[in-house]
Structure 1
Amino acid sequence: MKHLPKHLRPRWRYLAVGIEAWPDAEIDRRTFQREVWYAGQNLLGDPGSADADLSVVRFEFAAGTGDALVKVRRGHTESARAALACIDEIDGSPVGIAVRGISGTIRAAEEKYLGRGGQDSEERNVVFGNEERVAVVRDGSADVRLDEAFTGTTDLDYDLA
Structure 2
Amino acid sequence: MKHLPKHLRPRRRYLAVAIEAWPDADLDRRDFQRSLWFAAQNLLGDAGSADADLTVLQFEFADGTGEAIVRARRGCTDDARAALACVDEIGDAPVGVRVSGISGTVRACEEKYLRGGSQNPGERKVVFGDARRSAVERDGLVDVRTDGAFAGTTELDFE
Same fold, TM-score > 0.5, yes or no: yes
RMSD: 1.0
1:117-128 alignment runs, 5 A limit = 117-128=117-128
What's the counterpart of residue 52 of structure 1? 52
Q: Quote the offset at 1:63 in angstroms.
A: 0.8
Q: Distance in 1 between matches of 2:69 and 2:117?
A: 15
What's the counterpart of residue 150 of structure 1? 150
SS at match of 2:79: helix
Q: Structure 1 stretches of 5 or more lacking a match?
A: none
Q: Quote the offset at 1:124 in angstroms.
A: 1.1
Structure 1 residues 117 and 66: alpha-carbon distance in aligned structure 2, compared to 1, 3 A threshold: closer
| TM-score, L = length of structure 2 | 0.96
Instruction: Count how many residue pairs are aligned between Structure 1 and Structure 2.
Output: 159
Q: Distance in 2 between matches of 1:118 and 1:75?
A: 32
Q: Distance in 2 between matches of 1:70 and 1:118?
A: 20
Q: Quote the offset at 1:118 in angstroms.
A: 3.1
Deviating beyond 2 angstroms after TM superposition, the runs of 4 or more aligned structure 1 residues are: 117-120
SS at match of 1:56: strand
What's the counterpart of residue 43 of structure 1? 43
What's the counterpart of residue 26 of structure 1? 26
Q: Distance in 1 between matches of 2:36 and 2:5?
A: 30
What's the counterpart of residue 64 of structure 1? 64
| TM-score, L = length of structure 1 | 0.95
Percent of aligned pairs sharing the same letter: 69
Q: Is 1:94 aligned with 2:94?
A: yes
Cα contact 1:120–1:139 (8 A) shared by 2 = no
Q: Is 1:79 aligned with 2:79?
A: yes
What's the counterpart of residue 133 of structure 2? 133
Q: Structure 2 stretches of 5 or more lacking a match?
A: none
